Structure 1
């Protein structure tokens, strides 16, 4: 497990709309752009193997900006395909706050980051003591039907609160700004409340055709 003293002041960042990583969760990624292949090669040479996942957004004037808060993940598994691409798995380590983007000669973006305020991310699994699982699962079932999604109900039923809430936050096809709100939630309870609000909002008018594995 990564400790606070292991966290570097500067990390490479991977801006990817709609891709959410949360502490203690896992995110599979497929890297094929040359700049991100170079990023992975450099990251694998570092002690922590950290990459910061951040949500980009379009600012007035068409410029691509980065949200201030992201989540760093440690590359815990990777494999190379015959054509030189990589399949990697990232394990969420801690959220961070971008303080400044670093100018440099790397083809990928790097940022100075501040880890303070997210100490809970490096601790044990969070609990949600006010979680009404039965009510939540009933709403989730209606949401999945409404969106045309399917999932493994047995695995969901057996999952701990944090794994259930964080996995659904990452997998459900919400808008990037909604994903950002889930990321920035200060506690598991707040994230679950935000997730429930998004599910109820979708039930009042959303539809989709994707399949959640």
Structure 2
């Protein structure tokens, strides 16, 4: 497990700089397996470096797609995949470990296409407006995947909302619920971050 200060969504890339000994060991162990996967959860309290943090229990499986040496650290890129829920945290040995259960995948239906298009427009317009006042991680013109469910997760990932809201989005149990949650969180972000 790799607790981070950000949320990883399915179908999203995760660039990392690995330098702590415990995570270098984790990476070595992960790369020795055919799947080359590890779990990512958001840190609820604490810091990424040093351990002792408290973690959320919902996360995403990350699959390593690229790895290479860099100056003083290992650079890697992973891709978000299936979602999971932590059943039990195990003792760090030397890195965080947990027993998890995979969450059911959302099921796309074309009936949600128009609603998804509406929510995408809301997210992109809100991102563009907020970017006039503060720097954004993602551009409002960023492209999304052609596959509808991947694009929906990517839309949730780029929505201009905070990490705690992102954890709630990650816990969605239906496409309809995820669309409604993205729309609501985006509207609330606009109310909080945009001048009247």
Match of 1:15 in 2: 3
Cα contact 1:43–1:51 (8 A) shared by 2: yes
Alignment of 1:1-213 (within 5 A): 13-22=1-10, 24-58=11-45, 64-81=53-70, 83-106=71-94, 108-115=95-102, 118-120=103-105, 126-127=108-109, 129-131=111-113, 132-148=115-131, 149=136, 151=139, 153=141, 155-156=143-144, 159-207=146-194
Give SS of 1:75's match: strand
Cα distance in 2 between the residues matched to 1:90 and 1:127: 28
Give SS of 2:99's match: strand
Gaps of 5+ in 1: 1-12, 208-213
TM-score (norm 1): 0.73
Give SS of 2:161's match: coil
- When the two chains are superposed, the root-mean-square deviation of aligned CA atoms in Å is 2.7
Cα distance in 1 between the residues matched to 2:80 and 2:63: 6
TM-score (norm 2): 0.78
Cα contact 2:65–2:78 (8 A) shared by 1: yes
Cα distance in 2 between the residues matched to 1:203 and 1:47: 43
Cα contact 1:21–1:27 (8 A) shared by 2: no
